[in-house]
Amino acid sequence: MGQFRQNIVRTMTIALCLALVLRGLQVSAQGNSGQEAGFVLKTESDLVLTTVVVRDAKTGALVEGLTRGDFTILENGKAQPLSSFDFETVDRAQALNDATISWLAAAAQNSATKNGFRPEALRDHRLIVFFFDLSSMQPEDLDRSVAAAREFVQNKMQAADLIALVSLDTALKVDQDFTSDKTLLTGKIGIYNGTEGAGFAAGAGANSNQVEDASGSTPDEGEYNDVNTDRELYALRTIAKSLEKINQKKSLLYFSGGLSRDGIENQASLRAAINAAVRANLSIYTLDTRGLQAISPLGDASTGSLRGTGGFNGGAIQNNLDANFASQETLTTLAADTGGKAFLDSNDFAPAFAQIQRDSSAYYVLGFQPLSRVRDGRYRKLTVRVNRPGVKLEYRAGYYAPADFQHAAKEDREQELQEQLASDLPATDLSLYLDANYFRLEEGRFFVAVDLIVPGAQIPFTKGGDREKATLDVIGVVIDEAKRPIGNVRETVKLAVDDDAARQKNIQYSTSFNLPVGKYHLKFVVRENQSGHMGSFETDIVVPDMRKTPLKLSSIVLAATRMPSKAATPLVRGGVQYVPNVSHVFRRGQHLFLLYEVYDPTRVKVENAAAGAKPVKGAIRLISSLELMQSSTKVYETPAVEATALNVGGREAVAVELDVPLEKLAAATYIGQLNVVDDAGGSFAFPRFAVLVRDDAPVQASAAAGLTKP
């Protein structure tokens, strides 16, 4: 196979198996639902909070003393009844018992107690997060940011201010939780400086665990920017979600060296970050730490010499201006859509700190539950009015409504899949079962077949003409011991059957990977695209090193179905493909088909009749049989099958096939023992597995579901 590649050999097979095959597993997964099917109350609360700063139009002074009745809030032009109202001012802030509040770190660990601290105690305080994006800043920009943050903490920070420090380097870290301790903050800010801490060096370092692109193509700069931008936007979203249970206004000062987007590639991530901030009542203030820049027509010292006429006709300077604008456009959008402000093209960072204090000194918090219950994910414009003349209002312009699956955009649906794949929590709305089998292709390299099963009863087929139709999204990843993704799958499977029998059967999806010897972690997520329900399954697999194994065996594949195939894989013998039975559940009317391979079997030594001739290798002799046992009693055994020659071309392997008709067996659970003896080498193996034979009547089979790639 040559160079180790991220090559994925896909053999997609959709088989409609009998529903009874997995009924036993379904009972274990869903059986409790009937026993616990009592009264269940589900409620959804879409409370929208927005902060309003009211100032005198002439003097800019804060206006206090307004009541709930003085305000009117409109969503897309329609008045909304207020469900909550509050006024907060730092002038009434009470001293806290502890100068440091453990909130962000506890939220990141999903702790409900937050060390016993109650968010109500934060009333009338300013909550400010300094977010240092170390991965985007040059050393000199980082030094200026650290100096400005220190200056604010030491000389401008007020008693009502609680500040937290968060950084994004190789990972998102809470370096200091909310505290009013100036000495502590000053010391912690120093770790970001390029000479005092990890700072720029760690953020800009290359990842030693990178895997070369197997296809021979190198991702362009735009693709790398997409990944980096998504990472930064996801960090902002994570911070916002950790603060959403605090109703007070929160502010985040984002120190960044620019944030570029490539067209619409990052649109879903940007919208998710903004929406999370709006839901958490978090205003983002963005600070371009590059300051005032002099853009050279020929580029700075980081670029090579120009070629062509760009340096003479203005093309080069226009490109540089466009690139600078693009890197600031996302910063401006983040600030404007969350009620903050962007600070660009200035070497004086002090106004950013002052603006945050000014906007958070005194404000009204208005809450309402939208009259519109449509969860369409659309942008909803907010308008706030107050029956007081001569004032001006400051508030965010709107928010994105929550979206259910039917109204989610394509990019949002894709991001949902990616997030579930990366999540530590399993998705359980859709039952999913997985099995993996390996076969040696050459020394140290294996074909690994992965089969997924989804019960057809859980897929909401819809009528399309004279056929039942549905679509499934499948996404999966293979991760090696170094935590590197070395293989992935992303497919949309279209199902179409002639009748509704698919609801009584199971949908089986097959794919495969070429992997070297090693330990791997597999995770797959399947989503049906009618309701958006997802199921996930993950497991560890070991591809064995067979060099020191006396008897080299592949996985043992049990199948109830064989189907014609022209594919050239170890699962295909004589133009017939074995479809692995993931559950090992069979009906009495079926056959139990068994397939496995033995590699490098021992050959019998034969002496040449001529005197002094060296011995030569002759025939092999492999003997196989299958026993089925109940407890310790053998109830069935196949006749012994003998192999005397290699029968797998080019792989030094013997493929063994067994056929066990189950009609004469009683419905019961059996332990199957495969007896494999290499008579020439004196080695043997007796692998065991469980088999369940059921006495259910067969279900009328229908045409196999068609599979087409999108």
pLDDT, residue 612, reads 52
Of 5 and 310, the one with more pLDDT: 310
Name residues whose C-beta falls within 8 Å of residue 16's C-beta, 6 or more positions apart in sequence: 456, 497, 501, 502, 505, 506, 507, 508, 701, 702, 704, 705
Do both 289 and 232 map to the same domain?
Answer: yes
- Whether 227 is in a domain gets the answer yes
* SS3 label, residue 556: coil
Do both 21 and 140 map to the same domain?
Answer: no
CATH number of the domain enclosing 24: 2.60.40.10
Q: Are strands 433-442 and 100-101 parallel, antiparallel or unpaired?
A: unpaired
Do both 540 and 675 map to the same domain?
Answer: yes
For residues 171-192, average pLDDT: 90
Q: How would residue 482 be classed by pLDDT, with cut points 50, 70 and 90?
A: very high
506: β partners = 17, 455
| 8 A C-beta contact, residue 159 and residue 180 | yes
Q: Which of 360, 531, 285 is nearest to 430 (CA)?
A: 531
CATH number of the domain enclosing 291: 3.40.50.410
Do both 435 and 330 map to the same domain?
Answer: no
- Whether 320 is in a domain gets the answer yes
Model confidence pLDDT, tens digit, residues 519-534: 999 999 999 998 889 9
How far is residue 281's CA from residue 359's CA, in Å, rounded to a whole number? 13
Model confidence pLDDT, tens digit, residues 389-431: 999 999 888 888 877 787 777 888 888 898 889 887 788 888 8
Do both 414 and 358 map to the same domain?
Answer: no
Ranking 267-271, 511-515, 597-601, 685-689 by mean pLDDT, the lowest is 267-271
18: β partners = 505
| 8 A C-beta contact, residue 143 and residue 194 | yes
Do both 543 and 625 map to the same domain?
Answer: yes
Q: How would residue 317 be classed by pLDDT, with cut points 50, 70 and 90?
A: low
Do both 541 and 652 map to the same domain?
Answer: yes
Burial class (CB in 10 A: 0-12, 13-18, 19+), 43: exposed
Do both 468 and 609 map to the same domain?
Answer: yes
Q: How would residue 311 be classed by pLDDT, with cut points 50, 70 and 90?
A: low
**Residue 229 belongs to what domain range?**
93-208+219-300+313-362
Mean pLDDT of the residues in the chain: 79
Name residues whose C-beta falls within 8 Å of residue 218's C-beta, 6 or more positions apart in sequence: none
- Whether 592 is in a domain gets the answer yes
> Into how many domains does the chain fold?
2
Ranking 328-332, 459-463, 682-686 by mean pLDDT, the lowest is 459-463
How far is residue 422's CA from residue 439's CA, in Å, rounded to a whole number? 28
- Whether 673 is in a domain gets the answer yes
| 8 A C-beta contact, residue 340 and residue 51 | no
Do both 336 and 465 map to the same domain?
Answer: no
Do both 317 and 459 map to the same domain?
Answer: no
- Whether 104 is in a domain gets the answer yes
Percentage of the chain exceeding pLDDT 70: 75
For residues 492-505, average pLDDT: 75
pLDDT, residue 397, reads 86
Do both 25 and 132 map to the same domain?
Answer: no
pLDDT, residue 200, reads 32
How far is residue 46's CA from residue 554's CA, in Å, rounded to a whole number? 54
Do both 536 and 658 map to the same domain?
Answer: yes
- Whether 76 is in a domain gets the answer no
pLDDT, residue 207, reads 30
The predicted model scores a pTM of 0.59
How far is residue 657's CA from residue 557's CA, in Å, rounded to a whole number? 10
Alpha helices in 98-218, H assignment, sequence order = 104-108, 139-155, 182-189, 199-204
208 has a pLDDT exceeding 70: no
